[in-house]
């Protein structure tokens, strides 16, 4: 069984067939267990994450029923997989590793410097179908920053290899227009591609945005890059 949260929360059999996990709360339980990357989650924490103030009549019993439904969904898809959902004194956990869970595989690829393979794991925003849930908020922000940093590293490596990727950089910059490291890479790519005036316009764009949105000036590094391009 394999699991993915770099996009909508999904489980697949080892043959790549998507597993049907019925019910919003059961899918939420799967998402919550995946947030913790194999670590046990206390029952009280899961109950609070899944129901908040709108508690069912028998919270512990209802949670136990949802765990049983999740195990059944796994078992129906791939015999033996119910054992992946573990219960113990510290709570419930889901057995995952870097071979079965895209977040752990993403981290492993980053550690090994395999940026292209790491970025290919993403199918959309992390936890895309649970992005409004408080229990994923911190994890989503952390993963989004890791992804963006990896994208910046990847584009800088491509730029060093004379692969300017100007249009791809522009698409990403449209999502993060105030990201100065990304802006600097975009300016360099344009300049090295022989598009000096567009590189300077890219600087002017971020200068205006910073002033209008934050009341700030560009960083000294970005100012120095603009001067170098002018020179």
Question: Domain 164-230 class?
Answer: mainly alpha
Mean of the pLDDT values across residues 6-30? Answer: 97
Residue 13 pLDDT:
97
79-103 residue pLDDT tens: 999 999 999 999 999 999 999 999 9
173 in Cβ contact with 188 (< 8 Å): no
CATH 1.25.40.10 location in the chain = 164-230
Looking at residue 175, its pLDDT comes to 96
pLDDT, tens digit (0-9, with 9 covering 90-100), for 20-40? 999 999 999 999 999 999 999
- At residue 60 the predicted structure's pLDDT band, cuts being 50, 70 and 90, is very high
What is the average pLDDT score of the chain? 97
Question: How does residue 214 score in pLDDT terms, banded at 50, 70 and 90?
Answer: very high
Supply the pLDDT for residue 203: 97
Average pLDDT score over residue span 119-124: 98
User: Average pLDDT of 62-74?
Assistant: 98
pLDDT at 19: 98
State pTM to two decimals. 0.93
User: Mean pLDDT, to the nearest integer, of 7-27?
Assistant: 97
Distance, first Cα to last Cα, the chain:
57
Cβ(85)–Cβ(21) below 8 Å: no
Q: What residue ranges of the chain are covered by domains with CATH 1.10.10.10?
A: 2-105
Per-residue pLDDT tens digits for 130-182:
999 999 999 999 999 999 999 999 999 999 999 999 999 999 999 999 999 99
CATH architecture group of domain 2-105:
Orthogonal Bundle (1.10)
Mapping DSSP onto H, E and C, the string for the chain reads: CEEECCCCCEEECCCCCECCCCCHHHHHHHHHHHHCCCCCECHHHHHHHHHCCCCCCCHHHHHHHHHHHHHHHHHHHCCCHHHHEEEECCEEEECCCCCCEHHHHHHHHHHCCCHHHHHHCCCCCCCHHHCCCHHHHHHHHHHHHHHHHHHHHHHHHHHHCCCCCHHHHHHHHHHCCCCHHHHHHHHHHHHHCCCHHHHHHHHHHHHHHHHHHHCCCCCHHHHHHHHHHHC
User: 10 Å Cβ neighbour count for 148?
Assistant: 16
**Side-chain half-sphere exposure of 102, counting CA atoms within 13 A:** 23
In this predicted structure, what is the pLDDT of residue 61?
Answer: 97
What is the distance between the alpha carbons of residues 195 and 24, in angstroms, rounded to a whole number?
50
The percentage of the chain sitting over the pLDDT mark of 70, rounded to a whole number, equals 100
């Amino acid at each position: 069984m394999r699991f993915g949260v770099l996009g909508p929360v999904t489980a697949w059999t080892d043959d790549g067939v998507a597993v049907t996990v019925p019910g919003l709360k059961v899918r939420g339980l799967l998402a919550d267990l995946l947030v913790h990357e194999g670590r046990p989650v206390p029952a009280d924490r899961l109950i609070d994450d899944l129901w908040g103030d709108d508690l069912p009549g028998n919270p512990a019993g209802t949670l136990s029923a949802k765990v049983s439904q999740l195990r059944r969904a796994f078992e129906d898809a791939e015999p033996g997989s119910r054992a992946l959902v573990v219960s113990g004194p510290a709570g419930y956990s889901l057995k995952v590793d870097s071979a079965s869970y895209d977040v752990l595989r993403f981290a492993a690829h980053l550690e090994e410097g395999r940026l292209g393979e790491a970025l290919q794991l993403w199918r959309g925003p992390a936890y895309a179908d649970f992005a409004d849930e408080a229990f994923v908020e911190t994890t989503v922000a952390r993963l989004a920053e890791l992804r963006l940093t990896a994208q910046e590293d990847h584009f800088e490596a491509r730029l060093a290899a004379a692969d300017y990727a100007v249009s791809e950089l522009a698409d990403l910059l449209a999502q993060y227009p105030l990201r100065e490291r990304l802006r600097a890479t975009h300016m360099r790519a344009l300049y090295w591609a022989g598009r000096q005036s567009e590189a300077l316009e890219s600087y002017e764009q971020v200068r205006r945005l910073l002033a209008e949105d934050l009341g700030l000036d560009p960083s000294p590094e970005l100012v120095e890059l603009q001067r170098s391009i002018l020179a």
